[in-house]
Amino acid sequence: MKVSIDKIVLNFKIPSGTSRGILKEKPSWILKISDENSTCGHGEFSIIPGLSPDFKDENDYLALINLVVEFIENQLEINDLNSLKTVEFTEKIQLFYSKFCSYPSLIFGFETAALDYLNGGKGLIYKNNFSEGLSQIPINGLVWMGDVEFMQKQINSKIQAGFSTIKIKIGALAFNKELALIEKIRTRYNANQITIRVDANGAFSPDEIEEKLLQLKELDVHSIEQPIQSGQLEKLAALCKRNIIPLALDEELIGISTREERRLLLDFVCPQFIVLKPSLHGGFYGCKEWIDLAEERSISWWITSALESSIGLNAISQFTGNYPIILPQGLGTGGLYTNNLPSKLVIKDGFLKMSV
């Protein structure tokens, strides 16, 4: 078995506004696991500087990646599918998760490369109706931060493309301007025609948030992601209990890496939704744990990509396809980038499908 790492820098077609500023490019590292028969599995170590808990700087991150490479070379022998059935192999995988539980992007990249390799190195991560092109996943149309004209143009484009759920990133403009954008949608479409989600990325202060939620409620906004900065659990719990509009936890889940910590967070805050990003929330292993705990508590969820390349998006979409999906998910094809890798993912009328 051979293990190698290649860095790619993804270039945005249009600089994209996020809570971490304006992004023009984003780095990822591609993990390749191959053998003498030319079977090659690909995974992606995808990070967002300033948000990913396992990324401080590139040198530090490369040192962490090398630890993963050493683990694969020294601990794993995944020469055939039968190895998955051995107790020894299962114990080694559990050892990996325990060793790297605080590094979600490393878990995500390892899982994807290993599963791709074990399934023949053809981009098949999970075998299900979605990966076989037999079903499709409803998704939201994402509206990036920017000036009013730029955001309005995006909204119009998403609605014309057939999206029935629009997710708008807010918190960068004056709030009255953001409300005006939402109100303009509502003058043409009611809540049964267009669902509106907003993502605040922690932009609002605890003192002002309730007033803002009341204004969003008047416009039939479906939900708000992370309305205040993470770490303010008592305020979040109070907001969730009052339920002016449903709240979804996102950044709040970052860095919560054990099952017990996850259980305690959900039991204390009692959110209406959680938003899961494998490269930020513990890989597929961690997301499955979050989903299990959420469903035990009747908390709904959806899965969102986090600026991954086509390799990561392919894997996340197939993982999502393991579940009976009703709520629109936050997935895409990687069309944000000028130099993304080839993809079999296509979007039509607000649905994501695998072209096979």
Are residues 185 and 82 part of one domain?
Answer: no
Candidates 158, 167, 212, 277; catalytic one: 277
Query: What residues contact residue 66 under an 8 Å CB cut-off, 6+ apart?
Result: none
Are residues 219 and 344 part of one domain?
Answer: yes
> Tens digit of pLDDT for each residue in 140-163?
999 998 899 999 999 999 999 999
Q: Domain for residue 158, yes or no?
A: yes
Q: What are phi and psi of 86, to 5 degrees?
A: -85, 145
In the prediction, which pLDDT does 19 show?
58
Are residues 146 and 89 part of one domain?
Answer: no
**Residue 74 structure tokens:** 């020294």
Polymer length in residues for the chain? 356
> Tens digit of pLDDT for each residue in 152-193?
999 999 999 999 999 999 998 999 999 999 999 999 999 999
Active site residue 169: yes
Check which CATH number belongs to the domain holding 89 and give it.
3.30.390.10
- Report the predicted TM-score, pTM, of the whole model to 2 decimal places: 0.94
Active site residue 277: yes
User: How are strands ordered across the β-sheet holding 137-138?
Assistant: 137-138, 351-354, 345-348
Candidates 26, 169, 212, 235; catalytic one: 169
The total domain count for the chain is 2
Pairwise CA distance, residues 180 & 24, whole Å: 28
Q: Domain for residue 257, yes or no?
A: yes
Model confidence at 107: pLDDT above 70? yes
Check which CATH number belongs to the domain holding 296 and give it.
3.20.20.120
Residue span of the structural domain in which 111 resides: 2-118
Are residues 260 and 144 part of one domain?
Answer: yes
In the prediction, which pLDDT does 79 show?
58
> Tens digit of pLDDT for each residue in 309-355?
999 999 999 999 999 999 999 999 988 999 999 999 999 999 999 99
E strands present in 148-215? 165-169, 195-199
Model confidence at 13: pLDDT above 80? yes
Pairwise CA distance, residues 283 & 89, whole Å: 19
